[in-house]
């Protein structure tokens, strides 16, 4: 091999012009290229792109290939998660995986979330259909007006005690509501473990999973992000001045809430 392609900075400069599919080919070329370029490949993870939607929709499904089940996904994030710097999440299960104690996703600098309430796995879909078949039968016989009781799940940390309100929702199964309740907490725990975050986008879609009754824990968690300079917040109304006092390095703050 030419001397040139052995030099890490040059190989990386070449790789900076390549997309993940080509980077995937590159890391299979030889040990040296794998060593140098693995971090280029894992630098940016966007679950809307490449094979992520397929992989995530099949998560935990009987249809998923053996390698693409839950333990495989947790495994790859425990092995490579620490390389991720830019993370874009639109799937709830990715929140669950990246926030897991085994995951090594602690070095994220840019975290963006978009509506996570939409993407459901095939397994969840099946569960929903089964559930709605059941309840349809019930509704016909019992004529029950109004919403069913909202479900809560476990509280995963004292930080969240009393801070969240479950959301009543006809269109989600009780199981799903319990999971969603936990997903929201896991999301905030993911933020908490990534103390070098510079840019954060909080999507309003989380409010379709459960709502924040008391944003005290939000201030606490955001306040620990000493390198945060960009924040887009569409999840809960926050006091701008209080934020600026907590985060003197904050340069941009955008919010959907009127102040």
Partner 1 sequence: MTVILVSSDNQDFKVDKEVAERSILIKNMLEDVGESDSPIPLPNVTAAVLTKVIEYCEHHRNDPIQVPEETDDPRKRSNDIEEWDMKFMQVDQEMLFEIILAANYLDIKPLLDVGCKTVANIIKGKTPEEIRKAFNIVNDFTPEEEAQIKKENEWAEDR
- Give the residue, chosen from 69, 82, 86, 178, that forms a contact with partner 1 under the rule CB under 8 A: 86
Q: What are phi and psi of 75, to 5 degrees?
A: -65, -50
Binding mask 4-23 for partner 1 (x = CB under 8 A): xx-x-xx-xxxxxxxxxxxx
67 near partner 1, rule: CB under 8 A = yes
48 near partner 1, rule: CB under 8 A = no
Cβ at position 199, least distance to partner 1 in Å:
11
Binding mask 135-154 for partner 1 (x = CB under 8 A): --------------------
Angle at 219 between CA 215 and CA 225, to 5 degrees: 145
41 near partner 1, rule: CB under 8 A = yes
**Residues, the chain, total?**
259
Following DSSP, what letter does each residue of 33-88 receive, concatenated? HHHHHHHHHHSEEETTSTTHHHHHHTTT-TTS-GGGSHHHHHHHHHHHGGG--EEE
Please, which residue, 18 or 150, has the CB nearer to partner 1? 18
CA–CA distance, 195 with 45 (Å, rounded to integer): 18
- Specify the 3-state DSSP secondary structure of 189: helix
Which parts of this chain interact with partner 1 (CB under 8 A)? 1-5, 7, 9-10, 12-31, 33-34, 40-41, 43-45, 50-52, 54-55, 67-68, 76, 79-80, 85-86
């Amino acid at each position: 091999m030419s001397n040139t392609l052995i030099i890490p900075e040059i190989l990386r400069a070449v790789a900076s012009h390549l997309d993940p599919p080509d980077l995937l080919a590159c890391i299979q070329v030889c040990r040296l290229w794998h060593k140098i370029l693995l971090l280029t490949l894992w630098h940016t993870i966007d679950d809307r792109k490449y094979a992520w939607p397929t992989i995530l929709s099949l998560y935990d499904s009987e249809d998923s290939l053996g390698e693409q089940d839950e333990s495989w996904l947790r495994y790859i994030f425990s092995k490579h998660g620490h390389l991720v710097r830019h993370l874009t999440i639109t799937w709830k299960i990715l929140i669950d995986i990246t926030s897991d104690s085994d995951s090594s996703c602690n070095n994220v600098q840019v975290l963006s979330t978009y509506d996570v309430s939409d993407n459901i796995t095939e397994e969840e879909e099946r569960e929903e259909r089964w559930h709605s078949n059941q309840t349809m039968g019930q509704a016909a016989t019992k004529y029950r007006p109004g919403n069913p009781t909202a479900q809560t799940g476990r509280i995963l940390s004292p930080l969240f005690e009393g801070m969240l309100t479950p959301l009543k929702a006809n269109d989600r199964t009780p199981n799903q509501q319990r999971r969603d309740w936990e997903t929201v907490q896991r999301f905030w725990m993911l933020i908490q473990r990534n103390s070098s975050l510079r840019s954060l986008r909080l999507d309003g879609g989380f409010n379709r999973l459960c709502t924040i009754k008391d944003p005290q824990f939000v201030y606490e968690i955001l306040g620990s992000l000493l390198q945060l300079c960009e924040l887009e917040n569409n999840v809960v109304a926050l006091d701008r001045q209080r934020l600026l006092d907590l985060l003197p390095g904050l340069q941009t703050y955008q919010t959907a809430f009127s102040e």
